[in-house]
Amino acid sequence: MTGLVRQDPLPAPQPRPAPLPRTELVTLLSSLAESYHAVHGHKLRIEYLSEEPQISVAADPVAVQRAFRNILDNAVKYTPPGGQLRLRSSVVSQHAFVVISDTGIGMTPRSSGGPSSTPTGSGGPVLGARAGPGARRDRELLEQNGAKISLLSEPGTGSRSRSCSRC
């Protein structure tokens, strides 16, 4: 037989990753704010505000909670007595935003891993990756769950962590 074309077998289909469970951010953040207030409320003013009654994202709730707990632990650790810790959540164009801000000591670009090339209008640099394994782990946990995270910090003013996930 002539004119036959040899074909390699088709590659085996790759298994699809399991879909992420739905995580209710308002419930998760409210619970975190309440527990941190119970422990640190004598030292700091801690508040949570959500612009929506429910915000659901596709994410592992344990991973998301672990990342937000580390951010909150750092905020508590570096915010002096009388300072403020604020959690906010909102939805804009099918994207869930969580902002955790504090009135702590802030970080210099050097102590935080250096500024990214994107300046902000608020005077401080946007920080690419904070120093320390906890912050890198938080970024990895959130990114594995489809979220993006950024950090703005200014020495003497405090820090603001912002994460964004698709609803």
Please report, rounded to a whole number, the percentage of residues in the chain having pLDDT higher than 70. 80
- pTM for the whole structure: 0.78
Report how far residue 50's alpha carbon sits from residue 41's, in angstroms, rounded to the nearest whole number: 19
Q: What is the pLDDT of residue 166?
A: 92
What does DSSP assign to residue 44? S
Report how far residue 4's alpha carbon sits from residue 89's, in angstroms, rounded to the nearest whole number: 62
pLDDT tens profile 8-67: 676 777 777 778 899 999 999 999 999 999 999 999 999 999 999 999 999 999 999 999
Please report, rounded to a whole number, the percentage of residues in the chain having pLDDT higher than 90. 63
Comparing CA positions, the residue from 74, 81, 78, 82 lying closest to residue 132 is 74
Comparing CA positions, the residue from 87, 62, 71, 88 lying closest to residue 138 is 71
Cβ proximity of 125 and 116 under 8 Å:
yes
Comparing CA positions, the residue from 10, 9, 74, 3 lying closest to residue 40 is 74
- Identify the H or E element spanning 34: helix 25-40
Cβ proximity of 26 and 89 under 8 Å:
yes
Q: What is the pLDDT of residue 15?
A: 74
Q: What is the pLDDT of residue 19?
A: 84
Cβ proximity of 127 and 113 under 8 Å:
yes
Cβ proximity of 85 and 41 under 8 Å:
no
Distinct helix (H) and strand (E) counts, the chain: 4, 9
